[in-house]
Amino acid sequence: MAKRIAVITGASSGMGREFARQIDLLQQADELWLIARRDDALREVAADLTTPARCLPADLTDAAARQAIADALDAEAPLVTHLVNAAGFGKFGDWRSIDEADAEAMIELNCRALVALTRACLPHMGRGSRLIQLCSASAFTPLPHLNVYASTKAFVLSYTRALRWELRGSGITATAVCPTWVKTRFEQVARRSGAGQDVRHLLGAQEASTVVSRALAANRAHLAVATCSPQALGLRVLGKVLPHSVTMAGWDAVRRL
């Protein structure tokens, strides 16, 4: 029988770390593959788990690093019980204040790396496997002063929905997780830009543990989208019924509070 593994990107902190903790508690995998840039931080996460963990330090903006993970999967041919694509980051600011390197890195990590890891894991997934893509409520409408980040998350939402359709009958459940703000290092990183105060406050931020538990429950319930809070659900509905000009104007007022 193939070894059962759970693959978690962005596992060194924030949402990825919490997914590692809660998937560990499920005891549905023989090994957790933890992926992030910092080896020392990954080892700290692994030390707190009861499931054996393999630490794979990798910069997922590097195509060669992504290919090395795909090669390891093909060489070992495990059964991937869970894939959680939690790696990602955003920057506050308009098109002038976010530099080219940060814009490119957001697209590379939030979109290209997510697709690459998904495509690497899917051949090793089967009936009962779970695919969780970390998206955002920002996917529901364009957001000025968070434009590249929100656009990458709109891509993830669309990609996951289409992929879910293609996976019908396979027994693999795909869910896009779309919360509002979460209490992680996201804000600290997002403010390191030329206009870090363009978003004044992260109103209504949730605990990562709450978002992750609701995301896992939504995936078990075979939901395509997990909003994880009434606020995010409200934004999802508003994004469907209101013109983008209205939702963008509303966001522009809220971000200044």
Domain around 83 = 4-254
Model confidence at 1: pLDDT above 90: no
Model confidence at 147: pLDDT above 90: yes
Tokens for 25? 């508690």
Which residue in the block uniquely carries the two structure tokens 């090793």?
A: 124
Q: What pLDDT, on a 0 to 100 scale, did the predictor assign at position 96?
A: 94
Q: What pLDDT, on a 0 to 100 scale, did the predictor assign at position 135?
A: 98
C-alpha closest to that of 179 among 200, 201, 209, 155: 209
User: Rounded CA gap, 256 and 183, in Å?
Assistant: 20
Model confidence at 208: pLDDT above 90: yes
Which residues face 182 on adjacent strands? 206
Q: What pLDDT, on a 0 to 100 scale, did the predictor assign at position 74?
A: 98
Number of domain units in the chain:
1
Residue range 232-254: mean pLDDT, rounded? 96
Q: What are phi and psi of 27, to 5 degrees?
A: 55, 45
Residue range 182-196: mean pLDDT, rounded? 93
Residue range 211-230: mean pLDDT, rounded? 98
* Residue 252 CB coordination number (10 Å): 12
Residue range 221-229: mean pLDDT, rounded? 98
End-to-end CA distance of the chain: 56
Q: How confident is the model at residue 169 (pLDDT cuts 50, 70, 90)?
A: very high
Residue range 88-110: mean pLDDT, rounded? 97
Residue 135: which CATH number? 3.40.50.720
Q: Position 153: which residue type?
A: K
C-alpha closest to that of 232 among 147, 136, 143, 151: 136
Q: What pLDDT, on a 0 to 100 scale, did the predictor assign at position 172?
A: 98
Cβ-in-10-Å burial (0-12, 13-18, 19+) of 149 comes to buried
26-41 tens-digit pLDDT: 999 999 999 999 999 9
Q: pTM for the complete prediction?
A: 0.96
45-77 tens-digit pLDDT: 999 999 999 999 999 999 999 999 999 999 999
Model confidence at 194: pLDDT above 90: no
Model confidence at 100: pLDDT above 90: yes
Residue range 1-22: mean pLDDT, rounded? 97
Q: Using a pLDDT cut of 70, give the percent of the chain over it.
A: 100
Model confidence at 13: pLDDT above 90: yes
